[in-house]
């Protein structure tokens, strides 16, 4: 349930309502909009049966929430959320570009990738250090050593860092190095991990699982938010269908559906959706046209030698061409993208 307060309600009335809810053992999440404040109530509502909340000063109405997720939904927060990662705003006017190799492989590789993506306008450097591979014998990532190399690349370029975390231990280690956590498609319903990220309070990019419905995905976001971390960005990266021409099927309808049902920003990963470099540019542009707030794209200085996802990583040159196109699209769509070359 949410409690909608009247426009211009005094802070002390919001405080009084919160006090009553807390005294009954209910959890509260407050969302302050431009016009009104909304109080999300979490817990067993039966304790409210004899409490005439609607009569309290400042209360406009009580609204039951039918969706299983609450904090991630539009009822709780009608205005779009902007996730601010050290000054880079995801979900605002600016399109956000996260780019870099699938995995950190060496100092030369990550420094070269970082310099290249920075030149083309990326705001974030991506690079996996804990790799969730299908085969236990495939390259598993450099772990903390990889994070140290990412940090070095950050010092050289000023890019923000995002990396995938696959366990609670990885969260603890990566927390010391990166600006944003990535939760991979395979971990979208790893509820312990989601709660840990919720407690960490660091911004998180939550990928959609290959077989998760949008509803399940928003519930996964709810796990993070229910721990008090509202800085969640969603990422559509393709779902599993009967089609085999691409690695996954990019579900672009997820972009407008998420925008309709949630206030959270959403970006698109065309790399893991397509699985093949020749489709990345088209899918990226389609994603931006559909209303995505940004992209996360795999870029490798020498894709043919990549230790993971070789077939889908763009060369710095192709990435640069794509960024040039995205900046032209941004002009048409009334968004911003600083193509930096």
Answer for which of 29, 77, 118, 237 binds ligand PEP (CB under 6 A) is: 237
DSSP annotation string for 248-274: SB--TTHHHHHHHHB-S-EEE-HHHHH
Q: Which C-beta is closer to ligand PEP: that of 118 or that of 208? A: 208
Q: Which C-beta is closer to ligand PEP: that of 121 or that of 141? A: 141
Residues 6 or more apart whose CB falls under 8 angstroms from that of 274 comprise 238, 246, 247, 248, 250, 280, 283, 312
* Contact partner at residue 335 from Mn ion, ligand PEP, none, CB < 5 to 8 Å by partner kind: none
Answer for which of 272, 281, 288, 313 binds ligand PEP (CB under 6 A) is: 272
Q: How many residues bind ligand PEP (CB under 6 A)?
A: 11
The window from 54-62, 75-83, 94-102, 168-176 that contacts Mn ion (CB under 5 A) reads 94-102
Specify whether the CB–CB gap between 265 and 94 falls below 8 A: no
Q: 86: which 2 tokens?
A: 């050290």
Answer for which of 231, 269, 309, 320 binds Mn ion (CB under 5 A) is: 309
The window from 20-28, 56-64, 180-188, 196-204 that contacts ligand PEP (CB under 6 A) reads 180-188
Please identify which residue in the block is written with the tokens 């990550």.
110
Whole-Å CA distances, 34 to 189, 229, 261: 33, 21, 19
The window from 24-32, 84-92, 184-192, 193-201 that contacts ligand PEP (CB under 6 A) reads 184-192
Give the SS3 label for residue 136.
Answer: coil
Q: Which C-beta is closer to Mn ion: that of 231 or that of 309? A: 309
Q: What's the CA dihedral at 324, 328, 334, 335 to 10 degrees?
A: 0
Q: What is the 3-state secondary structure (H, E, C) of 267-298?
A: EECHHHHHCCHHHHHHHHHHHHHCCCCEEEEE
Counting contacts by CB under 5 A, is residue 236 touching Mn ion?
A: no
Q: 57: which 2 tokens?
A: 């000063």
In the complex, least distance from residue 205 CB atom to ligand PEP, rounded to whole angstroms: 9
Q: What's the sign of the alpha-carbon dihedral 120, 122, 123, 125?
A: negative
Instruction: Provide the β-strand partners of residue 47.
Output: none
Q: How many residues bind Mn ion (CB under 5 A)?
A: 2
Q: Which residue sits closest to ligand PEP, CB atoms considered?
A: 184
Counting contacts by CB under 6 A, is residue 100 touching ligand PEP?
A: no
Q: 98: which 2 tokens?
A: 């996260």
Counting contacts by CB under 6 A, is residue 207 touching ligand PEP?
A: yes
Classify burial at 8, counting beta carbons within 10 Å of its beta carbon; exposed 0-12, middle 13-18, buried 19 or more.
Answer: exposed
Q: Which C-beta is closer to ligand PEP: that of 132 or that of 291? A: 132
Footprint (CB under 6 A) of ligand PEP, residues 287-326:
none
Q: Which residue sits closest to Mn ion, CB atoms considered?
A: 102
Counting contacts by CB under 5 A, is residue 99 touching Mn ion?
A: no
Interface residues toward ligand PEP, by CB under 6 A: 102, 128, 132, 164, 184-186, 207, 237, 269, 272
């Amino acid at each position: 349930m949410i409690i909608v307060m009247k426009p211009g309600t005094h802070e002390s009335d919001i405080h009084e309502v919160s006090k009553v809810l807390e005294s009954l053992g209910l959890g509260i999440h407050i969302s302050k909009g431009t016009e009104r404040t909304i109080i999300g109530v979490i817990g067993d509502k039966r304790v409210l049966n004899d409490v005439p909340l609607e009569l309290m000063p400042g209360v406009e109405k009580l609204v039951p929430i039918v969706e299983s997720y609450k904090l991630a939904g539009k009822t709780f927060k009608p205005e779009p959320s902007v996730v601010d990662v050290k000054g880079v705003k995801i979900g605002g006017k600016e399109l956000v570009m996260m780019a870099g190799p699938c995995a950190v492989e060496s100092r030369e590789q990550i420094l070269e990738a970082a310099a290249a993506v920075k030149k083309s306008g990326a705001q974030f450097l991506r690079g996996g250090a804990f790799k969730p591979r299908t085969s236990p014998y495939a390259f598993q990532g450099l772990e903390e050593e990889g994070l140290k190399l990412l940090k070095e690349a950050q010092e050289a370029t000023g890019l923000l860092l995002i990396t995938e975390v696959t366990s609670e231990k990885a969260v603890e280690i990566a927390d010391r190095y990166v600006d944003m956590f990535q939760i991979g498609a395979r971990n979208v319903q790893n509820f312990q991990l989601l709660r840990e990220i919720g407690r960490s309070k660091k911004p998180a990019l939550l990928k959609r699982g290959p077989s998760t419905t949008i509803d399940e995905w928003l519930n996964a976001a709810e796990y993070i938010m229910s721990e008090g971390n509202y800085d969640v960005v969603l990422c559509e990266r393709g779902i599993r269908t009967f089609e085999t021409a691409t690695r996954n099927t990019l579900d672009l309808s997820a972009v407008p559906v998420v925008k309709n049902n949630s206030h959270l920003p959403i970006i698109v990963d065309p790399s893991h959706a397509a699985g093949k470099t020749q489709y990345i540019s088209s899918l990226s542009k389609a994603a931006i046209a559909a209303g995505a707030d940004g992209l996360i794209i795999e870029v490798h200085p020498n894709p043919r030698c990549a230790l993971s996802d070789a077939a889908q990583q763009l060369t710095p040159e192709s990435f640069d061409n794509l960024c040039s196109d995205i900046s032209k699209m941004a002009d048409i769509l009334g968004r911003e993208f600083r193509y930096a070359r």
